[in-house]
Amino acid sequence: MTERAQTYRIMLADDHELIRHGLRNIISKSDKLEVVGEVSTSDELMEKLPEVVVDLLVLDISMPEVNGIELTEIVKKRYPALKILILTMHQNVRFLCRALAAGADAYMVKTDCGQEILSAIEKIREGGTYISSSLDAEFSEDVLQSFSKRSPAQSFRNLTKRERQVLALVAAGKTSKQMAVDLGLSPRTVDHHRASLLRKLGLKNSVDLVNFAIRNGYVTLEQ
């Protein structure tokens, strides 16, 4: 947020005009908040962000062309100070974990009431993270802290594409030799990526990696 801004500047990104209209009405109830732009596609969003000063992006998870989770990661890399509130119909812990891992500051469900959305925006403005009340009971505080800025080593945002591939294969129970074949790498290179995963995530062994992947929704116990 810019220090000189008198109001908290918000951009709405949703491909449904009715949703944007409803959000604008909710936000207009607070004289501390201001909607400074609306977009309906990912292309429009990336074109408009450089042109407008924005403190918070309210982003639909089901955007055309590029989904909201991928967009969150892209936007956070380009505008790290910009806060992002994911708004979705998906009342799903896996989507929640992936959104937070991508850098989202809040995860709200479209069935949440207007007052809760205003509360979420206020908490984000104060530097906090907000999770929909319909999901926070399923999402323990220690897991939430693993994604916070106070624990950056726990964030998937720090992992390379190859490290994420290795993590998925570790969680699937593959050995280093099997992973080497699957990825077209040498076993030594796979072990290097595994060691890097442990270091970045602050974990001790492969069992911890499996538990971490399951806990954060990248694999399920059934898989």
Percent of the chain with pLDDT over 70: 83
How many angstroms separate the CA atoms of 15 and 177, rounded?
Answer: 45
pLDDT digits (tens, 9 = 90+) for 162-218: 988 888 888 777 888 999 999 999 999 999 999 998 888 877 877 777 777 766 655
| pLDDT surpassing 60 at residue 220 | no
Residue 90: what pLDDT? 81
On the CB side of 80, CA atoms within 13 Å amount to 3
> Can you spell out the DSSP letters for the chain?
--TT-SSEEEEEE-S-HHHHHHHHHHHTT-TTEEEEEEESSHHHHHHHGGGS--SEEEEESS-SSS-HHHHHHHHHHH-TT-EEEEEES---HHHHHHHHHHT-SEEEETTS-HHHHHHHHHHHHTT--EE-TTTGGGS-HHHHHHTSTT-GGG-GGG--HHHHHHHHHHHTT--HHHHHHHHT--HHHHHHHHHHHHHHHT--SHHHHHHHHHHTTSS-TT-
Angle at 103 between CA 165 and CA 167, to 5 degrees: 15
Kindly tell me the sign of the dihedral angle through the C-alpha atoms of 192, 194, 200, 202: negative
pLDDT digits (tens, 9 = 90+) for 79-111: 999 999 999 888 877 788 778 878 899 999 988
Domain locations along the chain: 8-152, 159-215
How many angstroms separate the CA atoms of 188 and 170, rounded?
Answer: 15
CATH topology (fold) of 159-215: Arc Repressor Mutant, subunit A (1.10.10)
Residue 4: what pLDDT? 44
How many angstroms separate the CA atoms of 81 and 77, rounded?
Answer: 9
The CATH number of domain 8-152 is 3.40.190.10: no
